[in-house]
Amino acid sequence: MENSFVLGVDFGTDSVRSLVVNVTTGEEVGSAVHYYPRWQKGKYCDPSSQQYRQHPLDYLEGLEHSIREALKQCPAGTTDRVKGISVDTTGSTPGPVNEEGMPLALLPEFEHNPNAMFVLWKDHTANEEAALINEIAHSKGTDYTQYCGGIYSSEWFWAKILHVIKEDASVRAKAAAWVEHCDWIPAVLTGNNSLNTLLRSRCAAGHKAMWHASWGGLPPAEFLQQLHPFLSRYVNMYTDTVDATVPAGVITAEWAGKLGLPTDVVIGTGAFDAHMGAVGGGIKPYSLCKVIGTSTCDILIAPMEEAGHLLVKGICGQVDGSVVPDTLGMEAGQSAYGDVFAWLRRLIMGPVYALLNEADAQKMESRLLTHLSEQAQQLPLKKDDPLALDWFNGRRTPDANHTLKSTVTGLHLGVDAAQLFKALVEATAFGAQSIAERFVQEGVPIHEVIALGGVAKKSGYAMQVLADVMNRPIKIVNSENACALGAAMFAAVAAGLYPTIGAAQEAMSSGFETVWEPRAQHVPYYAERYRKFQELGAFTEKFNA
């Protein structure tokens, strides 16, 4: 095992990153990012209707380019000692495939049809369909949403499928099955595209597709038929699922040649980015691991014998083995985090780009959020400061409702950009606290809070406010690539280099770079602000009803 290497491949919303890791030391010896070109151009998306689709070619091109570029950075001889590859992806991001397991968008007749592409996690075109799923699930008999927090979301598998097949007869006729992005990439790398043998991720199936062993897999035909008569054809898409330590197979000769890798590289089963990111961040039982990016995913694990009997209301599911084998994996999160600050940046910078030359505008944009952070942390804390909700992309948890919109109150002629930025930072922290509060209320203790991702590492102001609001220390993961690092840990286990995820974590973990401690003098201020945040949320939800 000494001087062996593995690859972790992290498919994010905007790009894919590949990371080469030494399995003995945890040293990250090569890393490369590939931005999806079609996504960057806004193709196949319509923000006004909350439609966000991604072409599978963006994924395939990114997979090849990012791995090859990462390997170029490595010391001589590294390539020959690569033993495994595992991937994580966004989710739920399903796409329709034909009888041969080929994504429809790779067929000439569907190459420009958004409904034939992967439906990105943040696509909310299926709000009505999610409402129908909840209505039927809660009406009588078995509640198939009970292990998904009791509320099914438009961000998830069946709602998206239902929307597409209702909207597009051509896709409905051609789609023999649907696959999650995290299941498709291992299938591509191993050549196992057969719908009968393609491995399905326990993580994706349990959290997003209402899969559960107690009812034999996916919801039964009777339930799916009530949603749409056509859906019952998918009842036997799969029965069994596997955790991400299980090998999906060995790399094909074609892909080994493309990537310049040995032909015996083991390919691990995929999972979602936040779940593997939590492992890369050092999660252990009762750690609340916050994966902070455009949105957030909050991951908790607990021993099955201690928490397996619980049904935590309003979260994104609880699944045996979805994060670490033999533990209960629980997921929650916020639908917008980095996206909230990106919205403010666009709001300010739109006219600037129209009025200034591009070079000056880009220079200003690169400094904008840093400048606002510096200004905001100098502001006095006043009880009548502007207050905002973090529901810019709806509410993921607690209690999913993606029809909700944000509200900002307390605006007056004296409010400037820094004060508005302060309100948005606080809103994201209050949203995080509402999630933590729900876990505790439902009987799941939180022993520590871990944060990882770009915002966590770059915005000390946001992390300090988060610590003050939660009144807990926030431990920041050292690695800039925690999701890819987590995927690399799973690759090491799938390849047989470590017996367990715990052993891989112990050897390959990056540790923590800093800890943000709550400031005792600010905790009462934020506790009162959080109370007002809850009141504003209740008013807004009632107003939007």
Instruction: Indicate where the chain has its CATH 3.30.420.40 domain(s).
Output: 5-268, 282-478+511-545
Return per-residue pLDDT of the chain as tens, 545 residues: 678 999 999 999 999 999 999 999 999 999 999 999 999 999 999 998 999 999 999 999 999 999 999 999 999 999 999 999 999 999 899 999 999 999 999 999 999 999 999 999 999 999 999 999 999 999 988 999 999 999 999 999 999 999 999 999 999 999 999 999 999 999 999 999 999 999 999 999 999 999 999 999 999 999 999 999 999 999 999 999 999 999 999 999 999 999 999 999 999 999 999 999 999 999 999 999 999 988 899 999 999 999 989 999 999 999 999 999 999 999 999 999 999 999 999 999 999 898 888 898 899 899 999 999 999 999 999 999 999 999 999 999 999 898 899 999 999 999 999 999 999 999 999 999 999 999 999 999 999 999 998 889 989 999 999 999 999 999 999 999 999 999 999 999 999 999 999 999 999 999 999 999 999 999 999 999 999 999 999 999 998 76
- Enter the tokens of residue 483: 């999701």
Q: 74 exposed, middle or buried (CB, 10 Å; 0-12, 13-18, 19+)? A: middle
**395 has which bridge partners?**
401
> How many other β-carbons are positioned within 10 Å of the β-carbon of residue 99?
11
pLDDT for 43: 96
Longest dimension (CA), the chain: 66
What is d(CA 110, CA 118) in angstroms, rounded to the nearest whole number? Answer: 12
Helical H segments across 215-314, by residue range? 221-227, 253-259, 273-280, 304-307
34 and 296 Cβ atoms separated by less than 8 Å: no
488 and 21 Cβ atoms separated by less than 8 Å: yes
336 and 295 Cβ atoms separated by less than 8 Å: yes
Q: How would you classify the pairing of strands 266-268 and 82-89? A: parallel
128 and 291 Cβ atoms separated by less than 8 Å: no
Q: Tokens 């420009």 identify what position?
A: 112
Query: Model pTM?
Result: 0.93
Residue (of 254, 256, 259) closest to 64 by Cα position: 259
What is d(CA 67, CA 86) in angstroms, rounded to the nearest whole number? Answer: 12
CATH code of domain 5-268: 3.30.420.40
* Residue 379, CA distances (Å) to 20, 63, 156, 165 in order: 43, 45, 40, 51
pLDDT for 360: 87
Q: Tokens 């129908």 identify what position?
A: 132
pLDDT for 407: 96
Residue (of 161, 153, 152) closest to 180 by Cα position: 161
388 and 147 Cβ atoms separated by less than 8 Å: no
Q: Tokens 């000692």 identify what position?
A: 81
Residue (of 279, 288, 267) closest to 508 by Cα position: 279
pLDDT for 68: 98
Residues in the chain: 545
Q: 189 exposed, middle or buried (CB, 10 Å; 0-12, 13-18, 19+)? A: buried
105 and 111 Cβ atoms separated by less than 8 Å: yes
What is d(CA 12, CA 9) in angstroms, rounded to the nearest whole number? Answer: 10
**203 has which bridge partners?**
none
- Enter the tokens of residue 44: 């196949």
| 3 state SS of 365 | helix
Domain 282-478+511-545 has CATH 3.30.420.40: yes
What is d(CA 202, CA 405) in angstroms, rounded to the nearest whole number? Answer: 32
Cα R_g (the chain), whole angstroms: 23
